[in-house]
Amino acid sequence: MKFTKMHGCGNDYVYVNCFVEQVADAPYLSRVVSDRHFGIGSDGLILIKPSEKADFTMDMYNADGSNSQMCGNGIRCVAKYVYDYGLTDKKNITVESGGSVKYLDLNVTDGKVTEVTVNMGTPITKPGLIPVISDKKQVIAEPLLIDGNTYEITCVSMGNPHAVVFVEDTKAVEIEKIGPLFEHNEIFPERTNTEFIHVIDRKTIDMRVWERGSGETLACGTGACASVYACILNGYTEDTVTVRLLGGELKIQYDREKHTIFMTGPAVTVFDGELNVN
Ligand SMILES: N[C@H](CCC[C@H](N)C(=O)O)C(=O)O
């Protein structure tokens, strides 16, 4: 089976063109290819498929095989793949993910996509829709006890769940220890992605992330969007913010009039390969 290894700010996935390839058990395949010793090595698997309501469908799986509704770094790489590999010649495309259609603008240099702007849609803060168990109308700076320490969480969905925590120093976060404790906390019926944010100034934040189903990744596009909206809800930043991640930078813009978030960032192809799928 042919695949392409790509990344957005170091958040790397194995991409399979399902217009050509057949994938019988995607959760199993994601676990296999994601293993960084016995497989290809990635944060998960992304299948590119036809769609009845958009130009393409993105079907995304975390390293543990769990399916997610949306992947920000992944959808930028899907855009790069379909343009660079000739599945489209359009520079404005639509991609369906988790049932919702996203609009993407492709920045092409020398015939290849280098950067993509994605309309990531409306941030969701209603607890029942994130989902997070809470009797509040919004979970903004609410206390949560993790490993004997009380953290303040702000919860936002970008189609997938995020708990945003503000810290003084992201390097000091013991992410391997507390990340899983947030991910599997009982208040998150579908688990959660958790972002640890240090606000540098009103236009810049520093972010680390423990992803649902993949552990710490070098970047998280939906997490960056959720984090910027959490900053705005808490009054920490303006509406346009540069998010500094371990693997690179994303530009996030909140459009107040449209109540919509836009993400701009890179997409990189690393290599093409062939996998022996027995
Ligand atoms: N782990 C996430 C999916 C990948 C999101 C992330 N890689 C991004 O770029 O948005 C979840 O289960 O909701």
Residues 59 and 154 grouped into a single domain: no
The model's confidence at residue 108, banded by pLDDT at 50, 70 and 90, is: very high
**Range 62-69 average pLDDT:** 98
Q: What is the CATH number of the domain that holds 184?
A: 3.10.310.10
Shared domain for 90 and 158, answered yes or no, is no
Binding site membership of 211 for ligand 1 (Cβ less than 6 Å): yes
Indicate if 187 and 88 belong to the same structural domain.
Answer: no
In the chain, how many domains are there? 2
Instruction: Kindly state whether residues 134 and 108 are assigned to the same domain.
Output: no
Round the CA-based radius of gyration of the chain to a whole number and report it. 18
ipTM above 0.95, yes or no: yes
224 three-state secondary structure: helix
Is residue 73 a known part of a binding site? yes
| Main-chain dihedrals φ then ψ at residue 47, nearest 5 degrees | -100, 130
164 and 215 part of one domain: yes
Catalytic residues: 71, 220
- For residue 106, the enclosing domain spans 2-119+265-274
For 249-267, write each residue's pLDDT tens digit.
999 999 999 999 999 999 9
Do 8 and 70 fall within a single domain?
yes
Residues 141 and 187 in one domain: yes
182 and 151 in a single domain? The answer is: yes
Per the confidence metrics, is the pTM higher than 0.95? Answer: yes
Q: How far is the CA of 243 from the centre of ligand 1 (A)?
A: 16
Q: Is 107 annotated as a binding residue?
A: no
Asked whether residue 37 falls in the same domain as residue 104, the answer is: yes
C-beta neighbour count of 152 within 10 angstroms: 14
Task: Determine whether the shortest distance from the Cβ of 68 to ligand 1 is under 6 A.
Answer: yes
Residue with tokens 């809800």: 233
- State whether residue 215 is helix, strand or coil: strand
> In this structure, are residues 200 and 226 in contact, taking their beta carbons and an 8 Å threshold?
no
**Number of the ligand 1 atom closest to the C-alpha atom of 161:** 13
The torsion angle over the Cα atoms of residues 212, 200, 132 and 225, rounded to 10 degrees, is -70
Instruction: Work out the pLDDT band at 276, boundaries 50, 70, 90.
Output: confident
- The 10s digit of each residue's pLDDT in 123-146 is 999 999 999 999 999 999 999 999
Do 237 and 150 reside in the same domain of the chain? yes
Helix, strand counts (H, E) of the chain: 4, 18
| Spatial contact of 197 and 167, defined as CB atoms under 8 Å apart | yes
- Mapped onto helix, strand or coil, the DSSP state of residue 176 is helix
- Name residue 142's amino acid: E
State which ligand 1 atom lies nearest to the alpha carbon of 13: 7
Task: Name the pLDDT band for 278 (thresholds 50, 70, 90).
Answer: low
Would you say 255 and 262 are in contact if contact means Cβ atoms under 8 Å apart? yes
Same domain, 146 and 105: no
Tell me, using a 6 A CB cutoff, whether residue 42 lines ligand 1.
Answer: no
Query: How would you label 153-182 residue by residue, b for 16+ Cβ within 10 Å and e otherwise?
Result: bbbbbbbbbbbbbbeeebeebebeebbeeb
Task: Specify whether 112 is located in the same domain as 134.
Answer: no
